[in-house]
Amino acid sequence: MNGAGVIVQAIAREGVDTVFGYPGGAIMPLYDALIDAPFRHVLTRHEQAAALAADAYARARGDVGVCLATSGPGATNLITGIANAYLDSVPLVSITGQVGTSVMGTDAFQEVDVFGLTLPVVKHSFLPQNGEQLTYALEQAFDIAREGRPGPVVIDVPKDVMLAEAPPLRAKQQPQPEQRMDSQYIADANEYLKSCRRPLIYAGGGVAMANAIDAFRDFVARTQIPVVTTLKGIGNLASDHALCLGMLGMHGLRSANLAVQECDLLIVIGARFDDRATGKLAEFAPKAKVIHCDVDPAELGKLRAPTVSLCGSLAQTLNALRLDTINPHWSKRCLKRRQQLTDKGYPRTTDIYAPRLLNALSGALDKDVPVTCDVGQHQMWVAQHMVFHHPKFHLSSGGLGTMGFGLPAAIGTAFANPGKPVVCVTGDGSLMMNIQELTTIAREKLPIKILLFDNSSLGLVRQWQELFFDKRFSQIDLSDNPDFANLARAFGLPAMSFHLAAHEPQIIEAITQSGGPLFVHVHINPHTKVWPLVPPGKPNHEMMEGASR
């Protein structure tokens, strides 16, 4: 068969049942082969959306996502999505068309150096020059994307290579056995666990990526150590679990940030000391020894020198760690703080208060309903106030912070969970980044419920300008937004608008009772802020806290 046929064969062999893309000249041979493919192709209305949908499909499914685009602008439009997958360690295979080999390097129509452009944001890149090289790339790409610390792989395929004859795929190689942990390092870690008085678990997105959720939860149950999570680690332990102190960091909960600053042993599992989590790194967990567990050796000691490094399978590592007893006073102090936060409740307002609405919505949704999120104030409110029972139900752009992620992510998540409702929480700034994908939702009749918080501004930027730039507001005014509900109707979606706190029960009922797609436009006060907030350059215990207005 030709190269395009082998690409189809490779995708099908990996068990991928849905790919996302947009056709064009250089990739047309592959789109011709897709007519007979045994999997579905979803036509997004922008290549960035294709990459972000494939990213979320991979997160929700726990396997590789695939996106396709043509050469030139098609490929460059993918790059934001590829970078998003890279920074959040998501297994993604991006297949791009390229101009023919005979004109490469001549500035041919729609020719760009995709290999070079994507090099900083991929695990690996391939630029096959013939059928044999294409087959080899396809045999390697999916395993590279999955293995170790997952990430994106790009295969940039010249048009003539897709048309040329290519050898069939060879039988898949058996995966290499997991490397055994060094028993001395495990023994050292267990000694520190035995001698500590105030241990704390700091868990990140690597737990789910390593398929170590069960081992992680068993470790917490055995040791009874309190847990804080990163944004991507939300759901490693159910948000309402007695030992979960919540998200740490810049917009982390007070209970989480203070526990980190007071602990004497920090057990870091699948996390990387990101600046949004640590605040001022030199004063992060200042009293603590550190046991750092990660599959990626590059992360061990990169930002914080660990007392003990445990590199390898997280499940294997967690099963080998032991703690016989824990200081009951420490656990009680941590959990009391979290309970005090829960008991504070929400302010009474006449207008819709996003944190209160999200918390109530979370209680009304089934536990396995996925929620995708854009970037901004609403992203932090979702992380702080909704309850998640598994990381695959909370899909948010962490490392790159990509505005426009939420809508295509909801599409990818919907295809990873056929027939299941998906909630997309977005803001008026983020929504406009990929609003064209409302057409994709309508075309595919996806049961996506879009909850749009509209404060007629770029809320998080506005908050920072108010607090740290002397209220010198610059380019945050979105008061000329369109009528979003009418716009959604024009795309073919049922839509409704709400303004008052008294409408919050109606909003929840609409989202939970609707069978198909739904667009819910919610107006909120532009002065509502995200609290708490760790100011830039400050340690995490120096949190700013304010009123709801």
- Domains present along the chain, CATH in parentheses: 3-163 (3.40.50.970), 183-340 (3.40.50.1220), 345-523 (3.40.50.970)
The whole-number pLDDT of residue 549 equals 40
List all residues 6 or more positions away from 394 whose beta carbon is below 8 Å from its beta carbon: 234, 235, 370, 371, 373, 382, 383, 386, 388
What is the model's pTM?
0.96
User: Cα separation of 274 and 281, whole Å?
Assistant: 9
pLDDT single digits (tens) 397-412: 999 999 999 999 999 9
By the 10 Å C-beta count (0-12 exposed, 13-18 middle, 19+ buried), 547 is classed as exposed
Q: What is the pLDDT of residue 528?
A: 95
Has residue 179 got a pLDDT over 70? no
**47-66 pLDDT, tens digit each:** 999 999 999 999 999 999 99
Percent of the chain with pLDDT over 90: 93
CB-CB contact of 437 with 450 (8 Å) = no
16's tokens:
């991928």
Q: What is the mean pLDDT of residues 448-474?
A: 97
What would the pLDDT profile of 258-317 be if each residue is shown by its tens digit? 999 999 999 999 999 999 999 999 999 999 999 999 999 999 999 999 999 999 999 999
Single-letter amino acid code for the residue at 322 = R
Give the C-alpha distances (Å, rounded to integers) separating 443 from 386, 439, 446: 30, 6, 8
pLDDT at 103 over 80: yes
DSSP letters spanning 407-420: HHHHHHHHHHSTT-
Please state, rounded to an integer, the average pLDDT across all residues of the chain: 95
Examine the pLDDT at 180 and tell me if it is beyond 80: no
The SS3 of residue 464 is helix
Residue 371, pLDDT above cutoff 80: yes
Q: What is the pLDDT of residues 495-537, one digit of tens each?
A: 999 999 999 999 999 999 999 999 999 999 999 999 999 999 9
DSSP state of 453: E
User: pLDDT digits over 412-441, tens only?
Assistant: 999 999 999 999 999 999 999 999 999 999
Please state the φ and ψ torsions of residue 510, each to the nearest 5 degrees.
-60, -45
Q: In this predicted model, what pLDDT tens digit does every residue of 232-253 receive, in sequence order?
A: 999 999 999 999 999 999 999 9
pLDDT at residue 538 greater than cutoff 50: yes
Which residue shows structure tokens 């990996």?
A: 14
Tokens of 358: 């999200």
